[in-house]
Amino acid sequence: MSYQNILVGEISSLIDDLIDEKITIDPNAVTSEICGNHSDELLDDAPFSTHNNYSNVRREVRSVMSKKMDLDINSLTNENSQLVIIGFECLQSYYSIKRNDSYFGVPIEEITAEEGRQKAKSYRKMGNTCYIHADELDKYFDSKRDNEAA
């Protein structure tokens, strides 16, 4: 198993534990915990190396959180997602919410009405943009087909 897979597995496991306990996920705290678990593996007095290790772990934390909290656009029912609430097609038990200029994974029970409405507005805007994008793709390829036929 590659070091990358080991890192992603460790991050995923920690985030899953936080989700199971319905704890708000602070990506910086997850990153610090993962880095702390491996502090003995870092070179002494090597701030450049330490910074790069932290940055890489932080990037992977964001990636894992995104995969867990973003609906798969190809599967709107998202039946395989552990985060979709039973009885709903898309409503999740956790959402990525911006608080104080940082994003956190927040259990739906702890999301304020205003945060929830902002998230809904964001999804509607994204949906509208996707429809426009789809229409433009159709228009482009219809035009291309018509030009090739002429």
Query: What digits encode the pLDDT tens for the residues 61-73?
Result: 999 998 888 755 5
Residue 78: CB atoms within 10 Å:
19
Minimum mean pLDDT among 66-70, 81-85, 91-95: which range? 81-85
Q: 69, 96 in Cβ contact below 8 A?
A: yes
* 119 in any annotated domain: no
pLDDT band at 6 (very low <50, low <70, confident <90, very high): very high
Whether the CA torsion 34, 35, 36, 39 is positive or negative: it is: positive
* 131 in any annotated domain: no
The model's pTM is 0.76
Range of the domain at 61: 3-111
Length of the chain, in residues: 150
* 116 in any annotated domain: no
pLDDT of 27 reads 95
Tell me the mean pLDDT in the region 21-48. Answer: 88
* 102 in any annotated domain: yes
3-state secondary structure of 25: strand
* 87 in any annotated domain: yes
Beta strands in the chain, from DSSP E residues, in sequence order:
94-99, 102-107
* 18 in any annotated domain: yes
pLDDT of 40 reads 81
Tell me the mean pLDDT in the region 126-134. Answer: 95
Token couple for 31: 């990153």
| Number of domains forming the structure of the chain | 1
Tell me the mean pLDDT in the region 108-122. Answer: 96
* 55 in any annotated domain: yes
